[in-house]
Structure 1
Amino acid sequence: MNLEQHIENHFGLSSVICEPLNTPTNDVFAVTTPTGRFALKLYHLQRTAPEVQWEVDLTVHLIRNGAPVAKPIRGKRGYVESFCLDERDRVAVLFEWAPGEKPKPARDTYTLLGKAAAHIHQAADTFTSSLPRESYDAHTLIDELLQRMNRHLLEAKRWEQAVALGARLKQVIANPALDRGICHMDLSLDNVHRHGENITVFDFDSAGACWRAMEPHSILRSSQAFFEAWLDGYRSVRPFNPHNEQAVAAFCILGDLRGVTWGLGVARSSRGKPLLGIADLPGIVDTWLDWERKKICF
């Protein structure tokens, strides 16, 4: 049975046409039918069905509480289905296609993104589940990732510098005034569509409990002005205290740690040929240290 037949069989659709999208971790397809357009996500092989069910339960909870999130579609067995493709079982979820398209970087877009993040955080504060899911703490964000990169950093002669940096970053995130709760963890323009003045968020594959100051790290990395726009949007919905704002600079490095681990091919969700090698690490670590000197206050 091919992918189109699986979709027709599990979701009751007909005349399905699938177009693969260029996504790095999961296999995502644009699904076109006479009755509408959808997005099918086939999760990477390390994602378990209970973990995906947690994600779907969170998504449904967020929608019920007013957050601007793409809606999952029920199949014959519920929201979480399983397809056998190429002799492998793949966990699959079908979503409504988010209206609009990926927005271009602009101040008003980041204001809308900040509002969306705040609505998600506000709604997620009342979400509970007994299902398994990642919880991001100092160990998972620093110790575990550095250990995964241990061989590469040793060969690059940057292990001691990276470990010392990690210890200093732990001092920042140990601040009890920092807000914690469920975060999207990858809330960039790659994971939203904009339609007029509305933003729809999708892809909660990395979501889990974390410090809320992690959410805008990629925005601060790209532009101080865009980060300030994000803050304006967020604070129009809920507080983001000065401690959180100051800590975002530290989470810029922690976000990079996650990305570099993935790029080296040693993250849980890594797949395919590594995008980074040992020769890249000296420059990367030097960039972290330079960012720390310029942006992080201890």
Structure 2
Amino acid sequence: MPAFDELPHDEQLRCLAELATSALAQYGIAAPDPVLINLSENATYKVDDAGSGRRWAMRVHRDGYHSRAAIASELAWLQALRNDGVVVTPVPVAGTDGELIQSVAHPAMRRPRHVVLFEWESGEEPSEKDHLTDKFRVLGEVTARMHRHSLGWTRPDGFERLTWDFDTSLGTAPHWGSWRDGMGLDTDKTALFAETVGLIGRRLERFGKAPGRFGLIHCDMRLANLLVDGDAVKVLDFDDSGFSWHLYDAATAVSFFEHEPQVPELMAAWVEGYRRVLDLPAEDEAEIPTFVMLRRMLLVAWIGSHSETDLAQSMGVSYTATTVPLCEDYLRTFG
């Protein structure tokens, strides 16, 4: 069988589905084949057991993105957040061997993949088309509670997560590839984006990484990773959680719609909610547009390096095009 990386995309999906199905045995679950619900860094499946009425979410990890220790660290934090009453997070399910992280092999893959199973969480994903102002106040408050927890939490020995700073986002060692590989770039856009990235870097260097500004955060608090269940906001998908600026979490909340006219109102609501829990100095609040631009340019890079995903294909060139006026406005305001 050809190596996984050499297979066409459809064949890769078939191999991932086969692996997900075989993983069920390691949890003692006899259910129909898992159904793919999301393909991003990882492949996420819905598992339904019609007999018991139970449902789970299974995550098949991308090869080489996170080590086993890093995944264990992610699970340690999200469990602590839930157990300490900070926020509702997914509940990981142990396999029949008692381990939360399973290792599952497939003939086409060089190495076994890490697999994690979670209890299914009820609720509905918010949409940018909803009236989100009140939800963003709640989101700001929830985010501040998470930041407060991470500031006081004693991390277990061997804790390991990625760092998302300028260098690993837009600089010389980017986790998601170079923004220069974004879809639809031409000479003029590349020059504009380069000027914008340079300004972001200079402002972040001045902003610094003091403990009150930089630490362990979720790093992907976008609407797709939230569930609203009555009055509760549940936070999902800690796969990108790591060390970054606290205000990066604010920017991720408007991921993929940073150019929409309601964003300033939503950011103001987020700040209002955040300040219910933690102090946010005015000078820090004034830097939020820099973090929005950091996230926007990082997503330009992500789309370019994940062109096989449905999300990248649906956004693609138009996302790059709508980034142009954001860059122009940012340079006028902060340059």
Fold similarity call, TM over 0.5: yes
Residue in structure 1 matched with residue 198 of structure 2 by the alignment? 167
Q: Are 1:74 and 2:74 counterparts?
A: no
Residue in structure 2 matched with residue 92 of structure 1 by the alignment? 115
Matches within 5 A, 1:82-231: 82-85=103-106, 87-88=108-109, 89-104=112-127, 105=130, 106-125=132-151, 126-128=153-155, 129-144=157-172, 145=174, 148-150=178-180, 156-173=187-204, 174-176=206-208, 179-219=213-253, 221=258, 222=260, 223-231=263-271
Change (3 A) 1:10 1:261: same
1:28 corresponds to which letter in structure 2? T
Residue in structure 2 matched with residue 6 of structure 1 by the alignment? 23
1:58 corresponds to which letter in structure 2? W
Q: Secondary structure at the match of 1:216?
A: helix
Question: Does the 8 A contact of 1:263 with 1:276 survive in 2?
Answer: no
Residue in structure 2 matched with residue 20 of structure 1 by the alignment? 36
2:23 corresponds to which letter in structure 1? H
Moved more, 192-201 or 110-119: 110-119
| 1:91-149 superposed Cα distances (whole Å, 9 cap, x missing partner) | 11111112212134322222222222122212222242524321122211221349824
Question: Does the 8 A contact of 2:93 with 2:119 survive in 1?
Answer: yes
Question: Does the 8 A contact of 2:140 with 2:273 survive in 1?
Answer: yes
Deviation at 1:280, TM superposition (A): 6.6
1:84 corresponds to which letter in structure 2? A
Q: Identify unmatched segments of 5+ residues in structure 2.
A: 1-17
Deviation at 1:190, TM superposition (A): 0.3
Taking the aligned partners of 1:62 and 1:23, their CA distance within structure 2 comes to 26
Correspondent of 2:272 among 209, 229, 232: 232
Deviation at 1:155, TM superposition (A): 5.7
Residue in structure 2 matched with residue 41 of structure 1 by the alignment? 59
Taking the aligned partners of 2:32 and 2:134, their CA distance within structure 1 comes to 36
Correspondent of 1:252 among 289, 292, 301: 292
Q: Are 1:263 and 2:303 counterparts?
A: yes
Taking the aligned partners of 1:279 and 1:193, their CA distance within structure 2 comes to 29
> Percent of counterpart pairs with the same letter?
18
Moved more, 256-265 or 172-181: 172-181
Q: Identify unmatched segments of 5+ residues in structure 1.
A: none
Q: Secondary structure at the match of 2:59?
A: strand
Question: Does the 8 A contact of 1:112 with 1:197 survive in 2?
Answer: no
TM-score normalised to structure 2 length:
0.76
Taking the aligned partners of 1:57 and 1:91, their CA distance within structure 2 comes to 16
Taking the aligned partners of 1:5 and 1:289, their CA distance within structure 2 comes to 47
Question: Does the 8 A contact of 2:31 with 2:47 survive in 1?
Answer: no
Change (3 A) 1:276 1:140: farther
Q: Secondary structure at the match of 1:215?
A: helix
Question: Does the 8 A contact of 2:181 with 2:301 survive in 1?
Answer: no
Taking the aligned partners of 1:167 and 1:2, their CA distance within structure 2 comes to 43
| 1:259-280 superposed Cα distances (whole Å, 9 cap, x missing partner) | 1111112xxxx36276499977
Change (3 A) 1:279 1:101: closer
Taking the aligned partners of 1:140 and 1:232, their CA distance within structure 2 comes to 30
TM-score normalised to structure 1 length:
0.84
Taking the aligned partners of 1:147 and 1:40, their CA distance within structure 2 comes to 26
Taking the aligned partners of 2:286 and 2:219, their CA distance within structure 1 comes to 18
Q: Are 1:287 and 2:325 counterparts?
A: yes
Taking the aligned partners of 2:253 and 2:316, their CA distance within structure 1 comes to 27
CA RMSD in angstroms comes to 3.0
